[in-house]
């Protein structure tokens, strides 16, 4: 029904009940992609007490299933806690290693559902035991921000730079969502990849070392040949699809970029 209206249905799932046959059936029904929520606090059977890094094995099994079915996007969510914040760079590195089948990584800063230390809650006159809720009064840090996640990623990837944001409602100057784009390719024959972070350049400035040029293979960069991106020019590969966005043009091996 959703696909019949011209929309792109994306299924959010923990994947527990998902099989390849079921996924193929969903694709035939019009499914566009999936977002798997997987993190180390879910207490999954056979995955209890496993680290976020160890959960990459589980993430990969789902990514490979989606790739076998083909024609679907594959994303992963992970809730980030104080004790898992330092694992974020490893998850970013894992996603980059599998850039051909992992399309999006989302890091959700932990928040609690309700304030339980100062208030009681009632439904139909009956007091609700908020201690039974997953996201309530856990003692976890609840002030981790998107900026904290970015700072942690930059400890290993200093060139990482968000390219877009969605601000808060109560605090318009806060960043509720920060988006970064990484362009890259993976060559199956040699099992190698090339990728680079992209942030929108200011007019008249350079992209810096994280510019689009770094998404090209080293041999292409060495020859300053802008035609090595999947048989297309770098401008064609990097140009945003939206007509309201300016066209990005990389014009030298020094990653000097301009908006035109």
Residue 199 tokens read as 């942030």
Higher pLDDT among residues 202 and 65, named by residue: 65
Highest average pLDDT, of 64-78, 159-173, 193-207, comes from: 64-78
The Cα–Cα gap between 84 and 42 comes to: 13
pLDDT band at 197 (very low <50, low <70, confident <90, very high): low
Could you read off the pLDDT of 201-238 as tens digits, one per residue?
Answer: 333 333 333 333 333 333 333 333 333 333 334 444 44
pLDDT band at 195 (very low <50, low <70, confident <90, very high): low
Contacts of 108 (CB under 8 A, 6+ apart): 77, 78, 79, 80
Name the percent of the chain lying above pLDDT 90: 48
Q: Looking at residue 218, what DSSP letter applies? A: H
CB atoms within 10 A of CB 171: 9
Would you call 248 exposed, middle or buried from its count of C-beta atoms within 10 A (0-12, 13-18, 19+)?
A: buried
The Cα–Cα gap between 247 and 126 comes to: 59
pLDDT of residue 194: 53
Q: For 96-100, 175-179, 240-244, which range has the lowest pLDDT when averaged over its residues?
A: 240-244
Alpha-carbon dihedral sign for residues 109, 113, 116, 118: positive
Would you call 169 exposed, middle or buried from its count of C-beta atoms within 10 A (0-12, 13-18, 19+)?
A: exposed
Higher pLDDT among residues 45 and 137, named by residue: 45
The Cα–Cα gap between 62 and 94 comes to: 14
Burial of 122-151, coded b for 16+ CB within 10 Å and e otherwise, reads: eeeeeeeebeeeeebebeeeeebebebbbe
User: Stretch 252-258: mean pLDDT, rounded?
Assistant: 29
The Cα–Cα gap between 196 and 184 comes to: 7
Alpha-carbon distances, residue 34 vs 9, 17, 43, 98, 186 (angstroms) = 9, 14, 21, 16, 21
Judge whether residue 132 has pLDDT over 80: no
């Amino acid at each position: 029904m959703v696909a019949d209206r011209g929309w792109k249905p994306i299924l959010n799932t923990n994947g527990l009940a998902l099989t390849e046959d079921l996924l193929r059936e969903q694709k035939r029904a019009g499914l566009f992609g999936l977002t798997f929520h997987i993190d180390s606090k879910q207490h999954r059977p056979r995955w209890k007490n496993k680290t976020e890094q160890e959960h990459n094995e589980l993430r990969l099994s789902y990514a490979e299933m989606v790739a076998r079915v083909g024609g679907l996007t594959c994303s992963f969510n992970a809730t980030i806690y104080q004790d898992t914040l330092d694992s974020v760079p490893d998850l970013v590195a894992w996603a980059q290693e599998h850039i051909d089948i992992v399309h999006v990584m989302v890091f959700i800063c932990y928040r609690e559902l309700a304030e339980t230390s100062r208030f009681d809650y009632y439904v139909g006159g009956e007091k609700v035991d908020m201690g039974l809720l997953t996201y309530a009064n856990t003692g976890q840090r609840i002030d981790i921000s998107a900026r904290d996640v970015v700072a942690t990623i930059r400890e290993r990837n200093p060139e990482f730079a968000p390219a877009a944001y969605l601000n808060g409602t109560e605090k318009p100057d806060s960043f509720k969502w920060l988006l970064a784009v990484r362009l890259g390719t993976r060559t199956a024959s040699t099992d190698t990849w090339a990728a680079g972070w992209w942030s929108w350049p200011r007019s008249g400035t350079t992209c810096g070392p994280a510019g689009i040029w770094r998404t090209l293979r080293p041999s292409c960069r060495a020859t300053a040949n802008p035609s090595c991106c999947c048989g297309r020019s770098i401008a064609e590969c990097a140009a945003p699809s939206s007509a309201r966005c300016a066209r990005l043009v990389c014009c030298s091996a020094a990653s000097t970029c301009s908006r035109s």
